[in-house]
Amino acid sequence: MPFLGQFAPPGDKSISHRLVLMSLLAEGRMHVAGLSVCEDVNASLDIFRALGGSASPEADGLSVVGLGGRWRGPDNLVLDCRNSGTTFRLLMGLLASRPGRFVLDGDSQLRRRPMERVAEPLRLMGASVETQNGKPPVSVVGQALTGIVHQLTDASAQLKGALLLAGLSAAGRTVVVEPAKTRDHTERLINHWGGQVAVDGLRLTLTPGPLTLPPFFAAPGDPSSAAFFLAAAAMIPGSRVTAVNVLLSHGRTGFLRVLDRMGAKVSMTLTSDTPEPVGEVAVAYDGPLSAVEVSASEVPSLIDEIPILALAATQAQGVTIFRQVDELRIKETDRLMSIRHQLGALGARAAVEGDDLIVEGPTSFILPDSLDSGHDHRLAMTLTMALKAAKASIPVLGRESIPVSYPNFDQHLSELWQD
Ligand code: S3P
């Protein structure tokens, strides 16, 4: 029973957040097609509207009117980012830079995630940002900011994005140096919308200035959503799955390079390249997978795909090592431990040594009474795929978290799975 067929994954979550949140700063009107309708992006959209932004449904998309930085709300208005770390961190940067007093908050998972990594560099720019012992709720009082030169210690696109968005309204240039290349959607969109970010390897130099919305923007499909079906196809004999209209930027397709190294048949066709590379990708089972080593410098390009790649590693011959994946400890759950425990519950040999995740395969799954995603959407989808590979059906607790990123996951699951 393989996965077979073609599907269009939902709009890319990272790009969708930026389209909505950066419209708080930009002038003009834009028709957006393909915006993700996942719960995380809805949180961004609700906040955009709560701050005075207008986004109205139209045939085939959404019409967004830029707020040009003139957001408003009563003092200390609480903006609920729900489960979305990207909403929270990008907003910290935006709100820090223009007048207004706001409180950012979120659900119980978001309330355990670190925010000082964003607050600290923002304070160096002159921002007034207070966390509760480093975590949400966070209060932000908008100030006149000054650009800084800042070397990031964490490879995080959310953090980089927050500083760039703050820098757009600051006096003087903002220079951000990354420790490793992370997804580049913020800088691409700034340049696409008339701003100026010069990229020189890991060094980004932003010149402050206004942004103007293009009349039309089509959000491509999310490779991080497509990854669940593509990786499942790589490990289940007889499978071949094609994702169409999917974002194929280098910073997001590390998982495809890893699946290729593991021995799956991966082919990509680029259909357009501006403002983001978009195309079609097919993955087919091509015999048993082999273990690989995933280096620390590759991790940012596949950070959200580690759960599903770890599952693929349980079916690969040998010891797969994911180097320095400690960032996983601060995702929606402590994903490093959840992966180890849940794959362990299936009888897989998964261990954490220091900050490395080690999976030894191949494994014939054993079935516990249930699996527990801990309400982590990416874990829930990974465990669902584990049960497809095991040809078994047991409850996956916390499955209702899946629409956080992939509202029509179950529809695609039933369309692509050949009973
Ligand atoms: C994201 C960046 C990554 C990723 C998250 C989305 C973004 O987080 O895990 O799902 O859109 O910028 P970090 O920046 O915390 O690594």
Look at ligand 1, atom 13, and give the residue with the nearest C-alpha. 156
Q: Is 156 in the pocket of ligand 1 (CB under 6 A)?
A: yes
Reported pTM = 0.98
Tell me if 242 CB under 6 Å of ligand 1. Answer: no
CATH architecture type of domain 223-416: Alpha-beta prism (3.65)
Does the C-beta of 342 come closer than 6 Å to ligand 1? no
Over residues 41-98, the pLDDT tens digits come to 999 999 999 999 999 999 889 999 999 999 999 999 999 999 999 999 999 999 999 9
User: Which residue from 303, 329, 330, 401 has its CB within 8 A of the most atoms of ligand 1, so it is best to mutate?
Assistant: 303
Q: Tell me the three-class secondary structure of 297-357, residue by residue.
A: HHHHHHHHHHHHHHHHHHCEEEEEEECCCHHHHHCCCCHHHHHHHHHHHCCCEEEEECCEE
pLDDT of residue 1: 81
Average pLDDT over every residue of 327-340: 96
Rounded to an integer, what is the distance from CA 233 to the centroid of its chain? 22
CATH code reported for the domain at 13-217: 3.65.10.10
Tens of pLDDT, residue by residue over 184-241, are 999 999 999 999 999 999 999 999 999 999 999 999 999 999 999 999 999 999 999 9
Residues 280, 164 contacting (CB under 8 angstroms):
no
> 369: CA distance to ligand 1 center in Å?
33
Active site residues: 304
SS3 94: helix
Reply yes or no: is the peptide bond before residue 288 cis, omega within 30 of 0. Answer: no
- Cβ 193 vs Cβ 214: under 8 Å: yes
Q: Is 90 exceeded by the pLDDT of residue 315?
A: yes
What is the pLDDT at residue 274? 87
**How many Cα atoms within 13 Å fall on the side-chain side of residue 285?**
18
Q: Is the beta carbon of 307 within 6 A of some atom in ligand 1? A: no
Q: Choose the residue to mutate in 16, 36, 153, 156 for probing ligand 1, maximizing ligand atoms within 8 Å of C-beta.
A: 156
User: Looking at residue 59, what is its pLDDT?
Assistant: 86
Gap between the Cα atoms of 167 and 159, Å rounded = 12
pLDDT of residue 55: 97
Distance between CA atoms of 215 and 319, rounded to whole angstroms? 50
Mean confidence (pLDDT) of the chain: 97
Q: What distance in angstroms lies between residue 279's CA and the mean position of ligand 1's atoms?
A: 22
Q: What is the pLDDT of residue 319?
A: 98
283 near 289, Cβ under 8 Å?
Answer: no
Q: What is the dihedral of CA 308, 314, 317, 320, to 10 degrees?
A: 60
Q: What are phi and psi of 271, to 5 degrees?
A: -105, -25
Helix, strand or coil, per DSSP, at residue 153: coil
Average pLDDT over residues 250-256: 98
Q: What is the pLDDT of residue 193?
A: 98
Query: Is the C-alpha dihedral spanning 15, 139, 151, 146 positive or negative?
Result: positive
Is the beta carbon of 27 within 6 A of some atom in ligand 1? Answer: no
User: What is the rounded radius of gyration, in angstroms, for the C-alpha atoms of the chain?
Assistant: 21
Helix axes 223-235, 13-22, angle to 10 degrees: 180
Phi then psi for residue 353, to 5 deg, are -120, 115
pLDDT digits (tens, 9 = 90+) for 296-310: 999 999 999 999 999
The percentage of the chain sitting over the pLDDT mark of 70, rounded to a whole number, equals 100
Provide the pLDDT for residue 60. 87
Cis omega (within 30 of 0) for bond into 2: no
Strand pairing report for 371-372 and 396-397: parallel
CB-CB contact of 93 with 190 (8 Å): no
Q: Which residues of the chain does CATH 3.65.10.10 include?
A: 13-217, 223-416
